[in-house]
Amino acid sequence: MTRAFTQHLGVLRAMLRRMFASKLAGFLNILVIGIALSLPAGMYLLLQNAQGLVAQLSGTPQISLFLEMDAKAEDIDRLQKQLAQHPAVAGVDFVARAQALEQLKQSTGLSDLISGLEQNPLPDAFIIHPKPGDAQSLDALRGELAKLPRVSEAQLDSAWAYKLEALLKFGRMGVLIIASLLSLALIAVTFNTIRLQILTQHDEIEVAKLIGATDGFIRRPFLYFGATQGLLGGIMAWLIVTASLLLLNHQLGALARFYASQFTLHPLSIGDSLSLLLFSMYLGWLGAWLSVARHLSQIDPR
């Protein structure tokens, strides 16, 4: 057990020495892998953030029911009773026109402009909280409510969120395709690196085979190399994504102030970060394994 462990440690040490012997080439490889992985990882991150936003906004879909400007108090009472009894409606809030104007003043910072208005341009409105349902049933409800008497318009507030949700699905597919292609590129990069290493270590491999090295012993340093290079590439990708995120958040902070919003992009979660590192390490290992399987058998000492 300890013997096997020290042997692995020795292989790892020799491999790292070799890796650091050609610093520039090694660094360029890691950079290529890092950039290749940072693209899907970054897109994934943006999608995650957009998804968070959508969930936040569309979590409680609402239907806004705007009444005609000349709606009387008894019309409103009647509508309220009607709505409260509707089977697809979970709750109803009434927003009087004066109240709506006051809210508008406070939330947009346009109080000066609003104070200057001669009369209130806003209608009375009901905010309907429908019972949970899919996009279609909500849309049907909206159509039904729009036809009620004294109702001028019904708006499904979350309609755009459903559209965005569909758009996000499209984006996720895009990320998947790009990630697959770039994973292949990563495997190819490692494959080629290992091929060159096997070529330059041809003599060593030949001698090792002649004096009793098992295939596992010969393969091991190359597999370790591939996995380590993949891991370092993954770390590079993580750094690129995180640095880009910080830069974007800096600009986003300035932008969000105009809208009095606190919106910032969330960084990769610990789970996602670990997945990124493990995945890139696995791809490096796989590329090395394929290369070793392909090229080692060609060295047959005579």
Partner 1 sequence: MISFNQVHKRYPGGYEALKNVSFDIAEGEMVFVTGHSGAGKSTLLKLIAAIERPNSGSVLVNNQNVGVLKGGALPYLRRNLGIIFQDHKLLFDRSVFDNVLLPLQICGFDHRESGKRVRAALDKVGLLKREKSNPIALSGGEQQRLCIARAIVNRPAILLADEPTGNLDAAYAQEIMAIFSSFHQVGATLLISTHDESVLQDSGVRRLTLKEGVLQ
Contact set with partner 1 (CB under 8 A):
2-4, 6-7, 10, 203-204, 206-215, 217, 301-302
Q: Identify which of residues 1 and 73 has a Cβ nearer to partner 1 in the complex.
A: 1
Q: How far is the CB of 214 from partner 1 (least distance, A)?
A: 5
Q: How far is the CB of 199 from partner 1 (least distance, A)?
A: 14
DSSP structure class, residue 60: S
Across the beta sheet with 125-130, what order do the strands follow?
A: 89-95, 125-130, 63-67, 151-156
Q: How far is the CB of 288 from partner 1 (least distance, A)?
A: 20
Q: How far is the CB of 239 from partner 1 (least distance, A)?
A: 33
Neighbouring C-beta atoms of residue 12, cutoff 10 Å: 15
Q: How far is the CB of 210 from partner 1 (least distance, A)?
A: 7
Give the integer Cα–Cα distance in Å for 39 and 26. 21
Q: Identify which of residues 23 and 302 has a Cβ nearer to partner 1 in the complex.
A: 302
Give the integer Cα–Cα distance in Å for 187 and 159. 42
Q: Identify which of residues 60 and 214 has a Cβ nearer to partner 1 in the complex.
A: 214
45 Cβ partners below 8 Å, 6+ apart?
241, 245, 265, 267, 268, 272
Q: Identify which of residues 112 and 203 has a Cβ nearer to partner 1 in the complex.
A: 203
Q: How far is the CB of 189 from partner 1 (least distance, A)?
A: 24
DSSP string, 92-133: EEEE-HHHHHHHHHHHHS-HHHHHT-SS--PPPEEEEEEPS-
List phi, psi (to 5°) of 5.
-65, -50
What stretch of H or E contains 8?
helix 2-21
Q: Identify which of residues 251 and 298 has a Cβ nearer to partner 1 in the complex.
A: 298
DSSP string, 230-245: HHHHHHHHHHHHHHHH
Q: Identify which of residues 93 and 215 has a Cβ nearer to partner 1 in the complex.
A: 215
Looking up tokens 């019904």, which residue turns up? 154
